[in-house]
Amino acid sequence: MGFGRSVICSSLMIFNYHPVNGQNLTDGFYSVACPLAESIVRETMKAYFLIQPIIAPAMLKLHYSDCFVEGCDGSVLISGPNTEKTADARRHQKTD
């Protein structure tokens, strides 16, 4: 693994384990409502990072600009066959 990837991986690990001040999100936050949520997100991000390494800094930028400043406003919609972005209620809305 090159130096750049090592730095990115290390940064992601630090951000992943750094507590968020003033928020109630913790490791295992969704363990009752959706026990597999964190592992699904973690494994999906790992898989995409191997294919597209630019995803790591892009996710850091997304979290900083959308969630850390004034709290996540829900403006980020994930693409996929069974997601909010493709829900029947959104058929009439422009999504891209």
73 is in an annotated binding site: yes
**Residue 4, marked binder:** no
- Residue 66 annotated as lining a ligand binding site: yes
Q: Has 76 been labeled as part of a binding site? A: no
**What's the token pair of residue 80?**
């996929």
The conformational region for residue 74 under phi > 0 = left, psi -120 to 50 = alpha, else beta, is left
Distance CA 7, CA 4 (A): 5
Give yes or no for a contact between 18 and 63, defined as CB atoms under 8 angstroms apart.
Answer: no
Q: What is the value of pTM for the model shown? A: 0.44
Largest CA distance in the chain: 46
- Tell me which residues of the chain have a pLDDT lower than 70: 1-4, 7, 9-25, 65-78, 83-96
- pLDDT, tens digit, 9 for 90 and up, residues 11-26: 666 666 555 555 566 7
